[in-house]
Amino acid sequence: MAVRADGEARVSDGTATVPRGAGRGALVRWFLSYGAFGVPQAAGPIVFALLALPLTGDAQSGAAIVLAITLAQVAGAVPVARLGRGWNAVGYLRVLVGIRMVALAAIAFLAAVEAPFAWLLVAAALGGLVNGAAFGYLRSVLNHLVAPAGLPRALGIAATLGEVTFVAAPVAASVLGTLDPVLALLALSALGTLPLVLVPGVAHATAPAVADGGASLVTPAILLWLGCTLANSAVVSSIEIGAVSLAMNYGLAPEMGFIFTVALCVAAVSGGVWVSVRNRMPGRGVVLGYLGLMSAGAVLIAAQVSAVATVVGAVAIGCCMAPLSTFYSLMLDALSPLHRKAELFALARTANSMGIILTSASLSLTSLAVTQAVAVGAIVTAAGVVSFAGRGSAPER
């Protein structure tokens, strides 16, 4: 993969070879690890609500646990990732996943013994502190398993598996949580710990030594794609978090909010399949088309025309999720210094979390209409900046 002077990246023509230690079996294990890694996060909102209910009398207290994890993830992503320099990436990933498992098990234990709710928040923060860095290292391992020309397909498959996880895990959390929330958390956390045994070992997966005093991650090109990641997350989370409010806004029963999230996820899975089959990095014009379609979907939802129109908007957004997230990941990969890839991928995870924080805070403090307007503003701004940044650049090949 090469980086042009304007910050654009191009996937290599396929002449690169797969690094040593890679193979189809190793790649399948990585895919399974990627899908399993997101289980605790996907199931968290439901299972934490069920855990909090008997402790506080209010299921909404579970949101405080999610917030503690998210804030800690934002704070710890880059520093914790930086501590892994010089470690083997797979070995450090296993350590971080192990720490997360201990933190989640501590939440379950504290809930079982009816400890003060504040202690659950402390344990949650510990898990969140390592979560972003763990994702960064998991993503960096993929670079050692796939040649650059195969990264679009691999990331498309990963995005598809991620969406399947975010559809299936909440259902599993609901079913298991009605039986025993503590056992539900332990079972789902155990699934999230599968990368401990599934991620293939790669002996040479160690960041190179720092050259020229290190390179900054705060560059205009990197900030551009991190900002786009945040905007994508804000739009998607405005639907996922506001699903119940959207249903009630149209006079539907609160539980009917699932129709919007299911439409979003099904479309996202379709988008992931498209990326995997195509296996090409899109040009900037195509990316602008995706951003335009996502913006149109967000505007359609914000207009609150009808439930059907909102479903159409969710489908438009979902179709663009995997192509855009794959493009952002490839761009950041190309722009990252070799010794700071895990840090940058952790930072991308942080940007994603900040988008969730933005919309959840807006929905909590303002209204559904304001939250949807914020989402529209974020994605339209991202589209405008990408369009402006592409002016005057060299013609694409």
Average of per-residue pLDDT values in the chain: 85
Task: Show the DSSP H helices in the chain as ranges.
Answer: 24-37, 39-56, 62-83, 89-112, 117-142, 151-179, 181-192, 195-198, 220-241, 243-249, 258-278, 284-302, 307-335, 341-365, 368-390
The angle that helices 39-56 and 62-83 make with each other, rounded to 10 degrees, is 140
Task: State the pLDDT at residue 34.
Answer: 93
CATH topology classification for 24-197: Growth Hormone; Chain: A; (1.20.1250)
Task: State the pLDDT at residue 261.
Answer: 85
Task: State the pLDDT at residue 215.
Answer: 61
Task: State the pLDDT at residue 178.
Answer: 83
The CATH number for 208-392, chosen from 3.60.21.10, 3.40.50.150, 1.10.10.10, 1.20.1250.20, is 1.20.1250.20
Best mean pLDDT range from 9-18, 163-172, 221-230, 347-356: 221-230
Residue 6 φ/ψ, nearest 5 degrees? -90, 10
Query: Which H or E run contains 3?
Result: strand 2-3
Q: Would you place residue 232 in the very low, low, confident or very high pLDDT band (cuts 50, 70, 90)?
A: very high
CA distance 234 to 377: 10
Tens-digit pLDDT profile for residues 348-393: 988 998 998 888 888 878 888 999 999 999 999 999 999 988 664 4
CA distance 224 to 244: 32
- Identify whether the C-beta of residue 243 lies closer than 8 Å to the C-beta of residue 260: yes
From 228, 208, 193, select the one nearest 100 (Cα to Cα): 193
C-alpha separations of 137 from 148, 189, 249, 315, 386 in Å: 17, 19, 41, 31, 27
Based on the number of CB atoms within 10 Å of its own CB, is 75 exposed (0-12), middle (13-18) or buried (19 or more)? middle
For the chain, what are the domain ranges? 24-197, 208-392
pLDDT beyond 80 at 203: no
CA distance 133 to 343: 7
Task: State the pLDDT at residue 336.
Answer: 84
